Chains A and B, each alone.
Chain A
């Protein structure tokens, strides 16, 4: 291993990255865009869902009930309609996710003390959202209903506080249940996958395609020097992007950061080794830039996106998929990220994630070194 030769390769690689607008964009702008995109664009919180209302009663009471819907942060009454067909159309074309119909005898039956039903028509195409909507709607109606009871009791000189049991919830780690706090840390895994695997997957394939590899391997430079020289700049870029993304997450999106920054850097370095080695390995075996980039996206970016627990919780996946996630390095990194950011878990308690990550890093690094030979065909 000659440091001079390693440095020569690394310096060349840096110049090439800096001179290539496309890689520069991927290196500098893409991470920021991904963080902003997932921080703003992808929200698993349901707020301000559009609903239509059809108030067939038009009484003081019915208006009280509907005001409660409007007051809730979860709903936004976008229109008041006067017939069923308008409601149906709104659900059909997606202008409304739910329609609330107050029956014509709402106030009358309330007055009689009889049970009253309010109809909710829900767009069930997205079952998850539908379930949440139903829950929210029930909560609003329930609140209205218990206030009515309290009023009635008060008006009839009964004790205003009937015995009741309620759950006092206290949410830990993500106190405000903001989905950005859940999502944004995981974006680091996506960024690493793109920088690490996608960009590096091109480096070896590109040299073969352009014919420069033949000149390169005719010199005394060793395979190891080529590999390290090519990967070192991407490692530096990766670490830089980790820091940038983490800072955006913490200071822009106000994601809590409770762990140690050092642990974040170390585990990110580990994951970077994994994706860099993987990218290099792909580049060696794929032969062409096109094939390499496609394989890289398929086996790093997609799993990191779908199966790492970044967006979709692993516990809720089918058992088979859960097993598959165990062979995905991204899964362990995402898990570490969430724990460092939200829980502040000390490094010593992260072994369940860090040990597999280290094993992946070592195995893939060895695989990558073995794969590349300074030989033609």
Chain B
């Protein structure tokens, strides 16, 4: 037997690593979006269905600023710096949007039944995606590459600079967030609020402020993911829906409310999707079935996710 070939699928090891890189890129994007879901669920115990749409709106704003800035043709380092600027702009816009949405559509519902915020979030997501379609048009657009995207060869692997950028940015932000939540005062307040809001506020934590910060961070991370995603794919009013759903699945797979879980879930889902279609030979059309199948399977086998805690209802 050829040492570089797996007997099962007759695929050589280089191809496996190639898919792994591709899966990691996609997975990093899922993970960044999943963080927003998981942080919000941790504190407010509800699924922010509008998260994907916030991502979409922020990405549009990034795109618009970027396109305006690069008119006349920019190259090299200038182009890349303008891209970062546009990205930061999109992050700021969506952070603001996330905070405003929370205050208008979710905050009045904190004491309501669990159905109310869920439906309110669905309402917000309908408003955002249709507003985008109305104002920006349904035509999908593409980012100009902010850097020379010629793939380079790395031990036989073909890696594009955009992939490298995506993986780098995702991991940098994830580690940054982990540090922020684990080691800073605000991070500690966030953890306290997700354990018990009432007690946290008795201890002097301004829970409303913490919730706003959570929404701001979650939305900003999602836009980063959205822009990176748009570099490879497209910007459209519906881009947030399916990506958002998949990211939510990632959050559930890792264990909703658990930040490391969201990262793990995102990366696992990205790799599974890539391998499912590329290695196991599942037709590309059924890509979504893989993700949702994984979701249902996880919910059945370990409903609290891979890293989730098992919390039983007190009788």
Chains A and B belong together in one complex: no
